[in-house]
Amino acid sequence: MSYLNYSLKKLNTFNLSTKVYKLFIVKNLHDLCKLWKEYEKKCMPCLILGEGSNVLFLNNFYGLIIINRIKGIYIRESKNHWNLHVNSGENWHYLVEFTIKNKIYGLENLALIPGCVGSAPIQNIGAYGTSIKKFCKYVDIINPVNKKIQRINNKNCNFKYRDSIFKNEYYKKHVIISVGLFLSKKWIPNLEYYSIKHLKNYNITPQKIFHYICNIRKKKIPHPKIHGNAGSFFKNPYISIKKGLKLLKIFPTMPYIIKHHYIKLSAGWLINQCNFSKCIYNGVTVYSKQSLIILNKFNKSSGIDILNFAIKIYNTVGKKFDIWLEPEVRIIDSYGEINPLIYFKK
């Protein structure tokens, strides 16, 4: 299906009323490559979009957006493991539900994360003590122009906190088409995250963890149809232990976790200390239950309004703590994704 001058309001979770010159919904790889090649020849920007759950459109998009709906979940069983090959247009939460229903366990901590499977390795999605890095065996990518397919094994994906090789070297000229997942048949619950540690005291099952985390996320994150949002706008910062100890002397109640010789701080806590919960700008504010979430409160703000509010947060937190938050959300202008450092810099 194709559309001209199509509104993206229902295709981005910030509920922004931006438009795209041309939009296609594709259900197979042949059509994806054909469209990409055709519009690249016309020197028009192309963008692959899953469910628009981690993007901020600043303006109308003057090119082609391809909505990836290439689906399929394929299971191969060995003696000790489940091997899943999942096409990139599948909804991530549907995949988690699918595995639970089929008694394939391990992904339950990652329940209710928005978006498609294809975007999961790009951000190295994670929650409640785990991330896709732990389960990803490989990622298949394609160059839509020459149709060359590559399989990138886990160790070559350069998975880091909300980062991977797919945000860098393999970003603009390649498209993720499928993800391979590797899940042990010997299920061991992951209950190390502080807010779910208490579950160790119960007769825990994968299903109970799944439902518990779904309930937490529903309470913690507002539904985007009510208040437009993209979940966490900024990454939680990692700072040196030396700098962290200095800050703890000034702010002794500051929550922190020591990880890999660094201190991980809560970006939401930092934002909270700057009183943004009482601030509203052109209909944009932070969520009262979690300051890391920026809301298009009345679903009438523009992408520029949201960006300006985020810049205000960035500068205020930076000046107060000398910590400069990094956006997690991808920022899209009229011709494609842009480097956030253009706007967010010291």
The token pair that represents 255 in the structure block = 């929550």
Which one is catalytic: 232, 291, 301, 302? 232
| 162 flagged as catalytic | yes
Contact between residue 129 and residue 190 where contact means Cβ atoms under 8 Å apart: yes
From the candidates 108, 119, 131, 162, which is the catalytic residue? 162
Which residues have C-beta within 8 Å of that of residue 121, sequence separation ≥ 6?
132, 136, 139, 157, 159, 164, 166, 176, 179
> Which residues, other chains included, contact 193 with Cβ-Cβ below 8 Å and sequence gap of 6+?
109, 128, 129
Give the N- to C-terminal CA distance of the chain in Å, as an integer: 44
Single-letter amino acid, residue 68: N
Angstrom CA distances, 202 to 109, 195, 198, stand at: 16, 14, 8
Determine whether 330 is an active site residue.
Answer: no
Cα–Cα distance list, 182 to 85, 227, 294 (Å): 9, 36, 34
Short-list 58, 184, 53, CA closest to 118: 53
Given the residues 51, 90, 108, 328, the one annotated as active site: 328
Q: Which two tokens stand for residue 316?
A: 């205020």
Residue 2 is a catalytic residue:
no
What's the rounded Cα separation, in Å, for the pair 118 and 120? 6
Active site residues: 162, 232, 328
